Amino acid sequence: MTMIALLAGDGIGPEVVAAARRVLDVVAPDLTYEEGLVGGAAYRAQGHPLPPETLDLAHRADAILFGAVGDPAFDALERAMRPEQAILGLRKSLKLFANLRPARLFQGLEDASALKPEIARRIDLVIVRELVGDVYFGDKGRGFTSTGLREGHDLMRYDEVEVARIARVGFETARTRQRRLLSVDKANVLETSQLWRDVVNEVARDYPDVALSHMYVDNAAMQLVRDPGQFDTIVTGNLFGDILSDQASMCAGSIGMLPSAALNHESKGLYEPIHGSAPDIAGQGKANPCATILSAAMMLRHSLDRPDAADRIEAAVAATIAGGARTADLGGNLSTDAMTQGVLATLETAAG
């Protein structure tokens, strides 16, 4: 029996996870589910954003489908108790070091992209983001300078093993695509990045069939909106990958379209949209469920070895979008429910 941990979380999290569950029930009806509290919802109920039962559930499950965490009501809490610590804690505890964030333009979404249609049409890339290191997990703290000014710090650090293992995922991912890997860093300024670049170059010796290049992150941000079609596979650190993937989403039409997979060495995965809890539209039935539905497809492919079911979901989303279905973020007026119905109806038509 295959058991999925459903961690819906906060804001639009429960809305988009419910949508993905309905789609999964059609393409993989035998899956079983256990729901867990996470983020602000867990803090409210149990006084902790990542209660031990939820962590245990995540470890027991075959895969995790995650919504989003974050609630402005808790932004003033001490950091350890904030909703966002739940997703960071899950990534760390499950050693989910490799985050795949594909961005491509679904046919018909040229109008929704922030780019000109002929430029937008070319985007088809994947960001391989390191997920358990960098400035996210380095030593952090607050204090005072010698002159009594308030001070804050976050240590940016990587060791060579951490860089080498994500570099390998980058090269392996490039091998499944156009065999072009771009490593994005800030080696002109940061020592962490110089180590990153050195190690990526060393790992490259094992992948002579992949064309490796390097780019500074500021230039990469510019190139991403100038011509995203130039990119195939991008490997980068935790912070740069976070920022570049939100940016890539608007090239592809909307942050409501981008799924992600967070993987470790044991094929255990956590699957989530790249977006957050969207407090501004939560509870209104406006959220685009596609990013989460497509994350469920990634789950079927990467953790459950069901590529056919993954293909069916992706084809159904593509056809639904091509047929003109649009939530508000895509310039339309469909509700979360209506968009989900559209995908379900397309699945049924394809099956019949």
Specify the residue, 61 or 257, whose C-beta has the smaller distance to ligand NAD.
257
Specify the residue, 134 or 329, whose C-beta has the smaller distance to ligand NAD.
329
Please check if 89 is assigned to a binding site: no
Q: Which of residues 220-249 bind Mn ion (CB under 5 A)?
A: 242
63-68 and 180-185 strand pairing: unpaired
Q: Choose among Mn ion, ligand NAD, ligand IPM, none what residue 312 binds, the Cβ cut-off being 5 to 8 Å by kind.
A: none
Q: Which helix (H) or strand (E) holds 191?
A: helix 191-204
Q: Which amino acid is at 27?
A: V
| Contact positions vs ligand IPM (CB under 6 A) | 70, 84, 87-88, 242, 274, 276
Q: Active site includes 246? A: yes
Q: Active site includes 216? A: no
Work out whether 278 is an interface residue with ligand NAD (CB under 6 A). yes
CB of 130 to ligand IPM, least distance (A): 11
Q: Which of residues 288-317 bind ligand NAD (CB under 6 A)?
A: 288, 291
9 strand-pairing partners: 68
Q: Active site includes 136? A: yes
Among 89, 237, 276, 342, interactor with ligand NAD by CB under 6 A: 276
Query: Quick one: 181 exposed, middle or buried, by C-beta within 10 A (0-12, 13-18, 19+)?
Result: buried
Work out whether 162 is an interface residue with Mn ion (CB under 5 A). no
Taking each helix axis as running N to C, give the angle between helix 336-351 and helix 307-322, from 0 to 180 degrees, rounded to the nearest 10. 120
Minimal CA–CA distance to 63: which of 132, 3, 16, 1? 3
Of 10, 134, 186, 268, which one is the catalytic site residue? Answer: 186
Specify the residue, 103 or 319, whose C-beta has the smaller distance to ligand IPM.
103
273, 277, 280, 281 alpha-carbon torsion, rounded to 10° = 60
Of 62, 124, 246, 311, which one is the catalytic site residue? Answer: 246
* Count of residues in contact with Mn ion, rule CB under 5 A: 1
Q: Active site includes 75? A: no
Q: Active site includes 111? A: no
Please check if 278 is assigned to a binding site: yes
Render 141-179 in DSSP notation, one character per residue. EEEE-TTS-EEEEE-----HHHHHHHHHHHHHHHHTTTS
Q: Do 91 and 31 form a contact (C-beta atoms < 8 A)?
A: no
Work out whether 272 is an interface residue with Mn ion (CB under 5 A). no
32 strand-pairing partners: 3
Of 154, 198, 218, 305, which one is the catalytic site residue? Answer: 218
Specify the residue, 108 or 273, whose C-beta has the smaller distance to ligand NAD.
273
Specify the residue, 24 or 86, whose C-beta has the smaller distance to Mn ion.
86
First to last CA, the chain: 27
Q: Which of residues 78-97 bind ligand NAD (CB under 6 A)?
A: 84, 87
CB of 173 to ligand NAD, least distance (A): 21
CB of 136 to Mn ion, least distance (A): 11
Stretch of 92-100, 172-180, 229-237, 272-280 contacting ligand NAD, by CB under 6 A: 272-280
Q: Measured between alpha carbons, how far is residue 79 from residues 49, 51, 85, 144 in Å?
A: 11, 15, 7, 19
For the chain, the 3-state helix, strand and coil shares in percent, each to the nearest 5, are 45, 20, 35
Q: How many CB atoms lie within 10 A of CB 72?
A: 13
180-185 and 211-216 strand pairing: parallel
CB of 160 to ligand NAD, least distance (A): 28
User: Which residues are part of the catalytic machinery?
Assistant: 136, 186, 218, 242, 246
Residue ranges at the known binding site: 91, 101, 129, 218, 242, 246, 276-288
The site for ligand NAD (CB under 6 A) is made up of 12, 16, 68-70, 84, 87, 255-256, 272, 275-281, 287-288, 291, 329
Residues that bind Mn ion (CB under 5 A): 242
